[in-house]
Amino acid sequence: MGNRTFTMIKPDAVANGHIGAILNKISEAGFRIVAMKMTRLSGQKAGEFYAVHKERPFYGELVEFMSSGHIVAAILEKDNAVEDFRKLIGATNPANAEEGTIRKMYAESIGRNAIHGSDSDENAQIEGDFFFSGLEKF
């Protein structure tokens, strides 16, 4: 068993029909899907999820975007999951993301950037717990 990270396929990528392609890339990169659901975030829940950014100028836009449509939330498992997944998704701004990364291939802009990946083991745990309970994560 490896360790875990948390991801969301964001509303832009869901609306643009990229769920299948993104899940394929995740799977081909060696991540096991531990838990997954297609759902929606209310404005309140999106605000809570991104509370660490609440003083940033883009916070309002971020919360509005993340609550604008369906998302796919998932817990993923692999050795070195957090770091390897951040590499797979690429830089926050797709203009700076490496070729072949998920954001380079599927993101529209820095704000509408297709996918989330946890930035630490601690946040992976917190974020997975935000969406999934008990047996779902077992």
Q: Which residues are annotated as a binding site for ATP?
A: 10, 58, 86, 92, 103, 113
CB of 117 to ligand DAT, least distance (A): 7
Query: What is the residue-wise DSSP string for 44-95?
Result: HHHHHHTGGGTTSTTHHHHHHHHTSS-EEEEEEEETTHHHHHHHHH--SSGG
Among 22, 35, 41, 62, which residue interacts with ligand DAT (rule: CB under 6 A)?
62
Identify the active-site residue in 18, 53, 70, 116. Answer: 116
Among 32, 111, 123, 125, which residue interacts with ligand DAT (rule: CB under 6 A)?
111
CB of 118 to Mg ion, least distance (A): 8
Q: What angle do CA 13, 91, 39 make, to 5 degrees?
A: 30
110 near ligand DAT, rule: CB under 6 A: yes
- The residue written with tokens 């449509």 in the block is 69
Piece in contact with ligand DAT (CB under 6 A), picked from 25-33, 73-81, 106-114, 123-131: 106-114
Cα torsion 119, 66, 9, 14 to 10°: value is -170
Active site (catalytic) residues? 116
